[in-house]
Amino acid sequence: MIKLLHFAVALTALLSGPALAHDTPGGGEGAKVTLVYDHELPNVPGKSMKGVLVEYAPGGFSEGHTHPASAFIYATVLEGAIRSQVNDGPVTIYEAGDSFSELPGDRHGVSENASKTKPAKLLAVFVVDTAEKELTFPIKK
């Protein structure tokens, strides 16, 4: 529990300061996707934890996408509200403080700001193979 609290404090400090020097692909119209944390897990060889900040302008969205086959994702809405659909599940609106998960192989067909007037922000924490550099792949139609 203490380690989780320390991680949360460290991640909050990262998010309140400038992001790391590179954005990641995977945005859509009105979406900014930024890698804010990347650390190899010392007790799980070959795996890393990567934090991705997704910022949506009012009405912003991400194109339908998937993630690396090795990726487990835990996302938390930090601000506003996010409309999301994973696989063929229901379209759900998550508000600030709400969280959801994506399992390896999931398809994220809907990911967008639920508001046309207010911004929204979420933090997606990936546990993924360290060798993975691309974290988002468009769904081929």
Predicted pLDDT at 136: 84
The model's pTM is 0.79
pLDDT digits (tens, 9 = 90+) for 7-49: 443 444 344 443 433 344 445 678 999 999 999 999 999 999 9
CB 63 within 8 A of CB 101: no
CB 33 within 8 A of CB 25: yes
CB 55 within 8 A of CB 31: yes
Write out the CATH class of domain 31-132: mainly beta
Report the C-alpha gap between 11 and 67 in whole angstroms.
22
pLDDT digits (tens, 9 = 90+) for 106-121: 988 899 999 999 999 9
Mean pLDDT, the chain, rounded, equals 83
So where are the chain's domains?
31-132
Share of the chain above pLDDT 70, in %: 79
Which residues have CB under 8 Å from 79's CB, separation 6+? 96, 119, 120, 121
What are the φ and ψ backbone dihedral angles of 67, each rounded to 5 degrees?
-130, 170
Predicted pLDDT at 86: 93
Predicted pLDDT at 27: 57
